[in-house]
Structure 1
């Protein structure tokens, strides 16, 4: 569980130097954020490992980042399956969004407004500035515990279990952004929205709804408001800034609508999800007809009604719904009905149309492996990891491919890179030692394995010295 993670996170924190120099450098922020994010990805049960939803969120986020003046800083956006309205920024550009917040956004501009706000907290280094005056001991303690507050705020029992009673209140108060920081993030967020082509009124409308929700349910206010204090003054200031800008009506992207439909189709009981979407399409109570049919198809897959799902997806495709999400679902339905060649053709066409879409690449690899087309899978995987060397999912699929081909040395060498990307150096070293023992590689394979093993051992020794 995430609440048990801080001790492990603390061990991986960078050396912050002299107590008098505790302001976090960008490098230290990145190391801390990466350490916490790896822990969330590996241990947090609510982490949503869905490449389509994550891919969409990262496209939206990077569109905003491109207008932030911080294009050189890496950002990574991820999703937690949690019904509460929350989003949070971690050091180094790691931004988490709860599925509840995506569902609550009534337009793509509203969702973009929250993400723009969080990006502004990162680019202005608000978290680092909040902790910069702490002693080093307090700083390390706070950052080690931050993961429990950042990603488990919605579960008070988890947060309490992670923190001593006396520390909890102090830590929470330190993580609450000040009014000045909030106003700064509002101002910069509005600029990001406008420059990125979104409707800036999305920020005002979304935060007003949050404020009203907080008033109606004072004891159960949105989680987001606990760390982002929302005042009448802030709402008024946002309204004044927005009123001075020209009106721009921005339609929602199809991918936004499909992501919301997919999340809704995956909620609660499968039969209830099917009933919900069947009612939508029958009574025509939808904002997007192709998204409603797509959600209906996703819900039917949960009941393994592949033919029914294909029928409803066909209705969505009638509207020329151009999205990789539609193509990957169509291919999966073909594969589930025994038509691997049909699935392969759909995915090949999608890969040419959407060459940057990771979910298409994963689906193509999985289809090739399922059909026993191992040489093609190897060729695809090798080419892909050259472009995306830290993609743990593709590395894992390539390692599986090597295992099926009986290439043991390459299997362990590739699996080692999965562990490196996850920050698990000891496990990576062990895999490389297995690769050395396999002895089925050629001279070049063995030379690369030996060199990588020496490199990781030096890295491990250096980390031990820093600790």
Structure 2
């Protein structure tokens, strides 16, 4: 194999640097009505303390096993499933959410983008200078220019990010205090992260701290403990109802995501607690052990017969096991109890269609329209609504529903085509006609943005 020449190496490095600044692919989003309601209730007092508008802060659950949460534009907090799995209490998660709210109020996403561009410019400039040196015959000097530029870029970026994280910790502490929520959970979570660092072999020395994107957990704990222990809310009792909801949602998430055997090891059949039954129901369902999954769901409902989440679980098991008629009763009741929560109403609409009884289609249309009116970002509900429209011969609205689904799935050419076709056939000036225009504009704008980035 021939050894690469210095110029080839430099050009390859330049290309890799340019590619590195492109956005990564989006991670998969998990949608669960119970967990979303829990996260909203967890963050609500913190949002009030931060003086942000409650309706403008969105929480999104990401299917990612790493222990993380982040903000990425607007006022949305993305929570990794690994964070829920690692935390032991609702209070720990609230500590993380308070920290992330600090990023939003400080506008760190915008500043992060600005600093990333600055660091990238330093890096690319050093590469271009290195290419020039290589063309002049100074191969070793060129590599030295590149190394110096890369180090300057990294130092600039990491120093900025560490400052952000430290200031955001303090903002999070203020929001916990303002909400009257103890900071013990925040401290405990950072202590757990510190333990993970030590077990992973990270040094706690100052030299190591410089090369990391966050301040060391030990440093954060020391500063925050001194602040939070003096706060009147430090000894505030935990919210026991919130903690019970958290334990249930955590078990449910584990049962849904983990391999069934892992779930059964963590929640063996001898454990008859509500969280254990919840987790096992999903483990059995994933293994198509329908009777055992239904037995766990029925045991949960025997304790709390009007719990909408348990009713949703039973309806889901029945529906996905090929028994849509049997699923209707629990799903109707869950929809009623949650005042037509969009995700549960969407599942009810799916069950009504899956019966293949055209007499159920008017009800399906009703609940699905209610679902997407409350939550437009539900591609599966739009798909089901399109099925209803097509079955009754309403092709323009079927194409509009397809466009709604496609634009969320980033199928912009198809979305544009269907939206334009729907607009051409829908009544002029009607709400659906206006919506078709909006979807077409969104799809066209995304296509132009993608074209400009090439």
What TM-score comes out, normalization by structure 2 length? Answer: 0.73
Report the equivalent of 1:151.
Answer: none
- Which of 205, 227, 238 aligns to 2:213? It is 227
- Which of 199, 205, 211 aligns to 1:216? It is 199
Report the equivalent of 1:31.
Answer: none
Report the equivalent of 2:141.
Answer: none
- Which of 94, 100, 116 aligns to 1:112? It is 94
The answer on 1:238 being equivalent to 2:228 is no
- Once the two structures are superposed, residues 61-81 of structure 1 have per-residue CA deviations (whole angstroms, 9 ceiling, x without a partner) of 445323321116733322333
Report the equivalent of 2:254.
Answer: 264
- Once the two structures are superposed, residues 90-112 of structure 1 have per-residue CA deviations (whole angstroms, 9 ceiling, x without a partner) of 12223222222111101011011
- Which of 367, 372, 378 aligns to 1:380? It is 367
Q: CA RMSD in A?
A: 4.1
Distance change in 2, residues 1:455/1:213 (3 Å): closer
Q: Secondary structure at the match of 1:205?
A: helix
Distance change in 2, residues 1:134/1:84 (3 Å): closer
Greater Rg, structure 1 or structure 2? 2
Cα distance in structure 2, aligned partners of 1:134 and 1:125: 14
The answer on 1:355 being equivalent to 2:343 is no
Report the equivalent of 2:4.
Answer: none
The answer on 1:79 being equivalent to 2:61 is yes
- Which of 261, 264, 279 aligns to 1:295? It is 279
- C-alpha contact (below 8 Å) 2:319/2:351 kept by paired residues: yes
The answer on 1:91 being equivalent to 2:77 is no
Distance change in 2, residues 1:205/1:343 (3 Å): same
Distance change in 2, residues 1:448/1:137 (3 Å): farther
Cα distance in structure 2, aligned partners of 1:316 and 1:417: 37
Q: Which runs of 5+ in 1 are unaligned?
A: 11-35, 143-163
Number of residue pairs the alignment of both structures matches: 400
- Once the two structures are superposed, residues 331-364 of structure 1 have per-residue CA deviations (whole angstroms, 9 ceiling, x without a partner) of 2234456654543222222222212633312221
The answer on 1:249 being equivalent to 2:249 is no
The answer on 1:326 being equivalent to 2:314 is no
- C-alpha contact (below 8 Å) 2:158/2:212 kept by paired residues: no
Distance change in 2, residues 1:271/1:172 (3 Å): farther
Q: CA deviation at 1:235?
A: 1.2
Report the equivalent of 2:10.
Answer: none
Report the equivalent of 1:315.
Answer: 299
Distance change in 2, residues 1:261/1:137 (3 Å): closer
Cα distance in structure 2, aligned partners of 1:343 and 1:172: 58
Q: CA deviation at 1:183?
A: 3.2
Report the equivalent of 2:140.
Answer: none
Cα distance in structure 1, aligned partners of 2:196 and 2:305: 35
Cα distance in structure 1, aligned partners of 2:252 and 2:54: 32
Distance change in 2, residues 1:67/1:386 (3 Å): same
Cα distance in structure 1, aligned partners of 2:182 and 2:405: 40
What TM-score comes out, normalization by structure 1 length? Answer: 0.71
Q: Secondary structure at the match of 2:49?
A: coil
